[in-house]
Amino acid sequence: MSQLRASLRAFWIVLGRDLRVYVSYRSRLFSQLLTSVFSLTLFYYVSRLVHVSGFATPADYFGFVIVGIALVGVLYSCFSVAETVRQELIAGTFERLVLSPFGPVRSVIAMAVFPLLYSFVLAAFTLTLGWLVFGLHLHWSTVPLAVPAMLLALLAFLPFGLAFAALTVVMKQGNVGVSWVIALISIVGGLYFPISLLPEWIQTATKFQPFTPSTEMLRHLLVDSPQATSVLATIARVALFAAVLLPVSIWALGRAIQESQRRGTIVEY
């Protein structure tokens, strides 16, 4: 069997394992769907309660924020790989992955696949529910384009999760900062409100991360939000982030594992 085929099969097997573990907790899906319902309900009424400058109607803000909510779930999924690595360290399965021909770096990347796909499905559920129940105006002619755009965004977000996974391997606690990083991204990424409301210097800082352009791109494709730059320019920007950050984060993960093997701490947790 060719190496590529064997690697793809191993990726598939990790995906299958994660699905099996997920469905073994029967109430988890129900709980997460319910969270989406509550978030949508909350922001539906907030959008009607408060007038937000820059939005002509409450429906405009609701459309804006619902995409943000969907992306927060995606963000959590990207960072969840750090927590998964920590669980593997505790269970002693990480050392087995280190000793497997497939290897730890590819294993960690493979561990990110299920949560990302799952968050993708959850985001689709959130948007569909918003459309069916809360009257969200989806821009159907460009909605299909949101699928590849979302995949591109995932590739740009994933390096941050891999970087935290690398931290977890070295420090055993890399997942501790995940919550506040996601909160920070939610603010500077414009997930809940437009970044034009932020101070000028923070707006400048937002140019150096992929979250804001990804969010703007998806909003444009899903709910036809206006964009400051062309879609193609935004896609190129997000793709550039992915192209630069992904190899760097994979390298950092490999280095973190090597360093832990050198220090002998790879077995600690």
Partner 1 sequence: MRALSPQPAAANGVPAAAPAPAAVPIAGPAAESVPLALSGVSKSWKGNPQPVLTDVDLKLDIGTTTWIGGRNGVGKTTMLRIAAGLIDPDRGRVQAWGASPRERRANYHRLVAFLPAGDRGLYARLTVRQQLRFWSGMAMLDRDESERRAAAALDLFDLAELADRRVDRMSMGQRQRVRLAMTFLPEPETVLLDEPLTSLDDEGAALLEAALLALRERGGALLWCSPSGDHPDREFDRDFHLEAGRLVSA
Between residues 1 and 56, which has the closer beta carbon with respect to partner 1? 1
Nearer to partner 1, 206 or 258 (CB): 258
Of 169, 217, 235, 266, which lies in the binding site for partner 1, with binding defined by CB under 8 A? Answer: 266
The binding track of 66-85 with respect to partner 1, each residue x by CB under 8 A or -, is --------------------
Amino acid in position 223: V
186-212 b/e (C-beta count within 10 Å ≥ 16 → b): bebbbbebbbeebeeeebeebeebbbb
Site for partner 1 contains 32 (CB under 8 A): no
| Vertex 121 angle, CA 117 and 123, to 5° | 110
When asked if residue 202 is in the footprint of partner 1 (CB under 8 A), the reply is no
Q: x/- contact string, 11-30, with partner 1 (CB under 8 A)? A: -xxx-xx--xx--xx-----
Which member of 32, 35, 102, 187 binds partner 1 (CB under 8 A)? 102
Does position 92 bind partner 1 by CB under 8 A? yes
Distance, C-alpha 87 to centroid of its chain: 19
- For position 6 contacting partner 1 by CB under 8 A, the verdict is yes
**Shortest CB 82 distance to partner 1, Å:** 18
x/- mask, partner 1, residues 205-244, rule CB under 8 A, reads: ----------------------------------------
CA 45 to chain centre: 26
User: What is d(CA 166, CA 245) in angstroms, rounded to the nearest whole number?
Assistant: 14
Residue numbers 109-128 binding partner 1 by CB under 8 A: none
Q: What whole-number distance in Å separates Cα of residue 151 and Cα of residue 231?
A: 15
The H-assigned helical ranges of the chain are 3-24, 28-49, 58-91, 93-98, 104-134, 143-171, 178-188, 200-205, 211-223, 231-263
Per CB under 8 A, 100 contacts partner 1: yes
Tell me the residue type at 52. Answer: V
Nearest to 193 by CA among 32, 75, 79, 51: 51
Cα angle value 40/56/60 (rounded, 5°): 25
User: Which range touches partner 1 (CB under 8 A), out of 1-9, 41-49, 62-70, 143-151?
Assistant: 1-9
Residue from 58, 103, 194, 254 touching partner 1 (CB under 8 A): that is 103
Which positions lie near partner 1, rule CB under 8 A? 1, 3, 5-7, 9-10, 12-14, 16-17, 20-21, 24-25, 91-93, 95-103, 107, 261-264, 266-267
